Structure 1
Amino acid sequence: MLIDLHTHSSVSDGTDSPSELVRAARDRGLDVVAITDHDTTAGWDEALSAAPSGLVVVPGMEMSCVGRGEDGDPVPVHLLAYLFDPNNEVFAGELERLRSERAERIRLMAELLAADHPAIVPDEILAATGESAGRPHLARALVDAGIVGSVQEAFDSHLATDSPYYVAKIDTPLELAVEMIAAAGGVSVVAHARARSRGRLLDPTQIRELATLGLDGLEVFHADHNADDTRFMSDLADELGLIATGSSDYHGKNKVLELGEHTTEVDQYDRILAAASRVP
């Protein structure tokens, strides 16, 4: 049984529509796939209705959070949420705030870029993005305009955190996000916590603290984890009694990642289902 619990559609920063994503998942031989777009559930209905026979679609999301870095300073963290009630009033309100933050941030960054690169048209970028506008949309615009040669080059230059075009956003405190997901009947899993290529890392001590607040799991097997960090995350999950997941973090053509590149063991998936108090 092949289970991939972290994928993105064009509703956020992937390139496949939700329908295309689930069909591609089945073509790759997956039995279970989670749709986890950034800060939105807008792709759920399409993915669920388009799911081919034999494929289970897990409704999920990747939430923009802020945690405590190993150096003690704030650090961006992504928190995967599964099987929560999208109509939970408090949680839905926070997700709406995050989406507003995303859209305003991308508009500001696009305007800064446009001042130096007239080929970048902020209104066109915002009009073409889904609810969860993000830096990958700007990266694709920079590539299409011939300003950079690849999405990765865009992230390494114009969109880097030390770039004059970079604008920060106000994300949800990690502790609050874990509590909100639990209150909405969902299951929370910290995504790619040792992804060194993305910058500074989350303090493992905070993961231990989160486990006492209701954190359910850790994404252990991920393309951005090297062998030592995979082992570290696996040991930490065992130490804390947390669910250990594996996934592709598939983004279609926006990243060189294949569906099912990393997968979750059946017993760990079963723990997610058991932990969810609401299963759509």
Structure 2
Amino acid sequence: MDIQRYACDLHCHTTRSDGNDSPIELIEHAAEVGVQVVAITDHDIPPPLWEEIDGREVDLRVFAGRRGVQVVLGYEFSCDTYVDDVHILGYNLDWNHPQLIEEVARARSSKTEAYRRLCEVLTSKGLAVDFEKDVLEYVDENNEKKYRNPDEVERKHIFEAMARKGYAPSWQKAKLLVRDDPELNIKRRKIDPLAAIDLIKACGGTAVLAHPLLIDEVIHYPDGRSLTRAEYIARLILRGLDGMEACYPYSKTSYKGSWSDAQAEAYIRQEYKGKVKFFTGGSDYHADGRKGIANPRHLGEAGISLEQFVAISEYLVGR
């Protein structure tokens, strides 16, 4: 398949969260398709600094450099217990900062509890998903049986199980089914987005709002408060949000709007020019094609140019 790719993809996932490429495989794939800069931004877990290859611990950035790829280390914070898809990307953080270590442990614990409960509620509604057999136990692309650590489960793994069992035509449709049913939309305690920005700053990092148009146009809280998307984002900017993801494959997500990807990018750049320091782009790559997912997001299909990356690199990797 002939895909137009950007030189820099600043939003990618690996097997450390809900992606299907290992960090090493992600780098090798980037080298194969000509993506020169790739960011590892897994959900609620710090990026790997070292990986084992042939029994040896290898510095991931050195490994990537030898293949002509620069790795940017990031972290995708899942934010706001009551609003879906509020994700803030943290780049250039102090990965050993005590506050970050504490947040990683808290997020891990809240996920495991909520996702186990989601499976129980799905089953009670006639959509039988067993946390142990359908989520923790899985078959990889080599048809080998594997087992996940309960603390490594992501909601997408449950959506994939729902699709596999025929409750939805795809994991994306399963996500919508769960999101739009109040009984199924089990809330896990997520970090407040303002607190996430504060934490990123405390760790010496840079805060970027991922896929802003996935946030609902009007947000309703259980206490009766309502905010428009614009008002919500304005609060993040006021708190110190540095950048915003402009180039993104909305057409391959749960995006509810009618704009094309190009129209969405143009709107974000026009609306927030001068309000944030810079714009980024990324595919939100998960290597879904390895699982036979139709119309998967491809590495580099959204991103920024090398020239654009160089101009903002001090924010993403430091000086």
Is 1:100 the counterpart of 2:109? The answer is yes
Matching residue of 2:191 = 172
Cα RMSD (Å) = 2.8
Matches within 5 A, 1:148-187: 148-157=168-177, 159-162=178-181, 164-187=183-206
Cα–Cα, structure 1 residues 199 and 249, in superposed 2: closer, same or farther, change >3 Å? farther
CA contact (8 A) 2:283 2:303 kept: yes
Q: 1: distance between equivalents of 2:127 and 2:84?
A: 32
Segments of structure 1 that go 5 or more residues without pairing to the other structure are 68-72
SS class of match (2:80) = strand
Is 1:34 the counterpart of 2:39? The answer is yes
Is 1:215 the counterpart of 2:255? The answer is no
Q: 1: distance between equivalents of 2:150 and 2:20?
A: 11
Matching residue of 2:269 = 234
CA contact (8 A) 2:244 2:276 kept: no
Displacement, 1:132?
Answer: 4.5
Q: 1: distance between equivalents of 2:150 and 2:28?
A: 20
Q: 1: distance between equivalents of 2:279 and 2:244?
A: 5
SS class of match (2:11) = coil
CA contact (8 A) 1:186 1:277 kept: no
SS class of match (1:120) = coil
Q: 2: distance between equivalents of 1:259 and 1:88?
A: 30
Residues 150-192 of structure 1: per-residue CA shift (max 9 Å, x gap):
21232232x2242533201221111111111011011110001
Matching residue of 1:84 = 93
Matching residue of 1:11 = 16
Segments of structure 2 that go 5 or more residues without pairing to the other structure are 1-5, 52-59, 137-146, 220-227, 251-258
Matching residue of 1:133 = 153
What TM-score, normalized by structure 1, do the two folds share?
Answer: 0.85
CA contact (8 A) 2:47 2:74 kept: no
Matching residue of 1:112 = 121
Equivalent AA in structure 1 for residue 108 of structure 2:
R
CA contact (8 A) 1:245 1:265 kept: no
Displacement, 1:199?
Answer: 7.4
CA contact (8 A) 2:72 2:316 kept: no
Q: 2: distance between equivalents of 1:199 and 1:95?
A: 29
Q: 1: distance between equivalents of 2:106 and 2:217?
A: 25
Give % identity: 30
Displacement, 1:15?
Answer: 1.3
Cα–Cα, structure 1 residues 211 and 19, in superposed 2: closer, same or farther, change >3 Å? same
Matching residue of 1:70 = none
Q: 1: distance between equivalents of 2:317 and 2:300?
A: 27
Cα–Cα, structure 1 residues 199 and 136, in superposed 2: closer, same or farther, change >3 Å? farther
1:62 pairs with 62, 71, 76, which one? Answer: 76
Displacement, 1:278?
Answer: 5.5
Displacement, 1:103?
Answer: 1.3
Q: 2: distance between equivalents of 1:29 and 1:130?
A: 35
CA contact (8 A) 1:237 1:244 kept: no
Residues 225-280 of structure 1: per-residue CA shift (max 9 Å, x gap):
7344322210233221421011111111167100000112335423543235857x
Q: 1: distance between equivalents of 2:236 and 2:185?
A: 29
Equivalent AA in structure 2 for residue 4 of structure 1:
D
Q: Which moved more, 1:11-20 or 1:26-35?
A: 11-20
Displacement, 1:38?
Answer: 0.3
